[in-house]
Copies of this chain bind each other. A is one copy, B any other.
Amino acid sequence: MDFLTELKKRAGIVDEALERFLPSASNYPPLIHEAMRYSVFAGGKRLRPVLTMAAAEAVGEDPLRVLPVACAIELIHTYSLIHDDLPAMDNDDFRRGRPTSHRVYGEAMAILAGDALLTLAFELMTRTVQEGAADPHRVLRVIAEIAHAAGTAGLIGGQVADLLFADKDLDGNTLEYIHRRKTGALYRAAVRSGAILAGADENTLSSLTEYAEYLGLAFQIKDDILDVEGDQSKLGKPVGSDQKNKKATYPALFGLEKAKEKAGQAVAAAVQALTNFDRRANFLRELAAFVVTRDF
């Protein structure tokens, strides 16, 4: 099976699990459950949950056993998109070609839908013990790591810095600071969670962490590149928006060719970090390559 087909198969498993884990849209009050589902099922690539599963697999665990945590991370990612799109934040009307949550449900419901997804994520993580028979100490460690990555030292801190530096000239260090938190922290937590639940020893965990950090970097640089030279119809969003919004990006700071070089180096370093892993880490290796060759 080629990689893209395999990726889609795994994303499909995540979708089915999310369908199971999210409250039905008919639960009272229906509006909030509709709004939660609208954003969760909006055509995401499911890279984070797939990473959690693949990290568990690389350590020798059945990836299905980490599904609650994998899906919880996707819920946190979704909540952060809903809140980032709000008028008071980035004020975006469209995402992946569809109107954003607040455009459909209004601001109040969009704020609450984000809150509800974040809250549900933590409830879901506790279910790993029932679903996967994981050790409760490991689950608690994972909850702490994910909360830390989603908090002011990670995701939220990155968004705050992004808002503070809007319309200001950024240097490479500040750009990296923002990206390490706004996107990197959750990729890192996704990989580490799968590994921790699978019982990875500290050496294994540290190699996978290195992999995740380089992968997150490669992903972000590629995102910036696609915004310059991507195909709008494949991306599902307009290109050139970073330049229009005067956002600091890798191509803007370093030029397109140098940015591509940096992305390639990051992927090589990610794959290099997996040297001591056997073929059960092949999916992680191929995913790293995919991240910079993708056109969507």
Q: Which residues of A line the B interface, CB within 8 A?
A: 23, 27-29, 31-33, 36, 79, 83, 86, 88-89, 106-109, 111-112, 114-116, 118-120, 122-123, 125-127, 129, 136-137, 139-141, 143-144, 147-148, 150-153, 156-157, 159-161, 163-164
Contacts and interface: CB of A to CB of B under 8 A. Distances in A.
A32 B107 contact: no
A157 B32 CA distance: 8
B147 A31 contact: no
B147 A126 contact: yes
Contacts of A163: 108-109
A119 B118 CA distance: 8
Contacts of A137: 129, 136
B164 A29 contact: yes
A83 B109 contact: no
Nearest to A35: B160
A253 to B, nearest CB: 21
A88 B88 CA distance: 10
Contacts of A32: 152, 156-157, 160
A152 B23 contact: yes
6 contacts: A23-B152, A23-B153, A79-B115, A86-B108, A127-B144, A129-B137
Q: Is the interface of A mostly helix, strand, loop or mixed?
A: helix
Copies in the complex: 2
Contacts of A31: 160, 164
A148 B23 CA distance: 12
A127 to B, nearest CB: 8
Per CB-CB distance, the 3 closest pairs between chain A and chain B, nearest first, are A123-B147, A88-B107, A136-B136
B129 A108 contact: no
Given A109-B163, A116-B151, 13 more contacts: A32-B156, A32-B157, A32-B160, A83-B111, A108-B163, A115-B115, A116-B152, A119-B147, A120-B151, A122-B143, A122-B147, A123-B147, A136-B139
Contacts of A136: 136-137, 139-140
Nearest to A23: B152
Nearest to A36: B152
Given A159-B112, A160-B112, A123 B144 contact: yes
